[in-house]
Amino acid sequence: MQNQSQANDFGTANSDTYDRVSISLHWITAILVVGLYLLAEIWGFLEKGTPPRHALQALHVSLGLVLTVVIALRIPWRAFAGRRLPQATPGLLGYAGTAVHYLLYVLLIIQIVLGFLFRWAQDESLSFFGLFTIPSPFVFSTEQRHNFGELHETIGTLIIIIAAGHMAAALFHYYVFHDSVLGRMIPRLNRLNRKV
């Protein structure tokens, strides 16, 4: 009962959509993940050690810390307070969709940890827009720095690929199945469909 009342306090008017907090955290996560990936791709074209490259990396670190906070809020909200909806699709497709959600959460947590470790392994503190820094509590070898960097890049690409598949599946539901799966995270679509 408590979970349901909390979801209603922060929720949308319709029970066929996620609550407002869940929707907001979902889209903030998506924007941050894409933005972080694009920043890394852009600075790859810049010469090492140049101020523009350093500025993009500093922005990447700061936004990575924002993502850390968002995920730290999103997971307990989803587990304890957010509105729970039944599986969007019955059977194996439904279980596959749920598995993709959990896989993305796991990969995001691993990616955040790797981001911290990689930055520290470069003998750099984590700086949040120059307001404060988080120094490294560990000492790392050159080999560890290389390994963290490779894993961070690989998992970042994997997250983008899986997220793109997740988005494609939601669009497929909307345009081919004509169901309300996409409307769970974009409530306006459900309202439009009711008017048609």
Q: Note the pLDDT tens digit of each residue in 57-85.
A: 999 999 999 999 999 999 999 999 888 88
pLDDT of res. 85: 85
Say how far apart CA 132 and CA 126 lie, in whole Å.
8
Q: Rounded to two decimals, what is the model's pTM?
A: 0.88
pLDDT digits (tens, 9 = 90+) for 102-123: 999 999 999 999 999 999 999 9
CA 102 → CA 44, 47, 139, 145, distances in Å?
Answer: 30, 37, 32, 28
Q: What is the pLDDT of residues 156-189, one digit of tens each?
A: 999 999 999 999 999 998 899 888 888 889 988 8
| Structural domain of 71 | 2-195
Whether the per-residue pLDDT at 194 is higher than 60: the answer is no
Contact 10, 19 (CB under 8 A): yes
pLDDT tens-place string over residues 4-44: 444 444 444 456 889 999 999 999 999 999 999 999 999 99
Report the number of distinct structural domains present in the chain. Answer: 1
Task: List pLDDT tens digits, range 82-99.
Answer: 888 877 777 888 888 889
pLDDT (0 to 100) of residue 2: 41
Query: Where residue 89 sits, what CATH number does that domain have?
Result: 1.20.950
Residue 138's CB: how many other CB atoms inside 10 A?
9
pLDDT tier at 132, thresholds 50, 70, 90: very high
Helix/strand/coil for 185: coil
Name which residue leads in pLDDT, 36 or 2. 36
Q: What is the mean pLDDT of residues 114-143?
A: 96
Nearest in space to 115 (alpha carbons), one of 136, 91, 130: 136
Query: What pLDDT does residue 174 have?
Result: 87
